[in-house]
């Protein structure tokens, strides 16, 4: 759920999708403070993808953000050294981003409007290939000791399957942002499936 006040933002080069796992190494004072506040208040923060600018830009350094982001809720926070946190988060609700501003400590905040969660619809018969290929990809990754996706795995959900492909396919940020903003999960999965079949994206 979106907070009532301006949403604190963590600008990143990645596009965060709902139900995705996000792992962060946090060391800047503004983000250490943010993680502490999120833990204390049990509130999420917003992940917004950088269009221009640096992740670790100095206060006052200009950045440009894409207009659709995703809330991130903390799963685990581990202090590995003085002023260094290793953070695991889950992507939750998507939002559209309005006006943004930078606070005195360098933290970006923005006006955000929540987007509806994906309706729970099953993949269509024509999308069975995308489902099976994802199951095989997960099995291969697990055999290699990698588990990039949070459980439960919901292969019966067109949105869940589409979002996991969006995470692992080598797509440009512009393309991922367009997919993130799509309200119809089956249409999103159709686009992903078409990209894989056409060879424009491979895993």
pTM beyond cutoff 0.85: yes
CATH superfamily of 125-198: BPP1347 like domain (1.10.4060.10)
CATH superfamily of 7-114: LON domain-like (2.30.130.40)
Q: Looking at residues 151-166, what average pLDDT do you find?
A: 96
**Number of C-alpha atoms within 13 angstroms, CB side, residue 144?**
9
User: 178-195 pLDDT, tens per residue?
Assistant: 999 999 999 999 999 999
Could you tell me where in the chain the CATH 2.30.130.40 domains are found?
7-114
User: 23-63 pLDDT, tens per residue?
Assistant: 999 999 999 999 999 999 999 999 999 998 877 666 667 88
- Provide the angle, in degrees to the nearest 10, between the axes of the packed helices 173-181 and 158-168: 170
Q: Which residue has the tokens 């596009």?
A: 15
Please, which residues have CB within 8 angstroms of residue 55's CB and are 6 or more apart in sequence?
Answer: 11, 12, 13
Rounded mean pLDDT of the chain? 91
pLDDT at 203: 42
Are the CB atoms for 172 and 200 separated by under 8 Å? no
Please count the other Cβ atoms lying within 10 Å of the Cβ belonging to residue 135. 13
Three-state SS for 7? strand
């Amino acid at each position: 759920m979106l907070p009532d006040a301006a949403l604190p933002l963590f600008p990143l080069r990645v596009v965060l999708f709902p139900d995705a796992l996000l792992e962060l190494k946090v060391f800047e004072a503004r983000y250490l403070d943010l993680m502490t506040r999120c833990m204390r208040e049990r509130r999420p923060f917003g992940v917004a993808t950088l269009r221009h600018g640096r992740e670790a830009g100095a206060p006052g350094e200009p950045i440009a953000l894409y207009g659709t982001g995703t809330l991130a809720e903390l799963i685990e926070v581990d202090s590995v050294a003085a002023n260094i946190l290793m953070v695991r988060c889950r992507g939750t609700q998507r939002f559209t981003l309005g006006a943004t501003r930078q606070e005195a400590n360098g933290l970006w905040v923005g006006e955000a409007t929540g987007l509806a969660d994906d309706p729970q619809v099953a993949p269509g018969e024509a999308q069975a290939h995308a489902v099976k290929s994802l199951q095989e990809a997960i099995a291969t990754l697990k055999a290699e000791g990698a588990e990039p996706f949070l459980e439960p795995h919901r292969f019966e959900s067109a949105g869940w399957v589409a979002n996991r492909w969006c995470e692992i396919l080598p797509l440009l940020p512009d393309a991922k942002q367009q997919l993130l903003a799509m309200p119809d999960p089956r249409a999103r999965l159709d686009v992903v499936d078409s990209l894989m079949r056409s060879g424009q994206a491979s895993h």
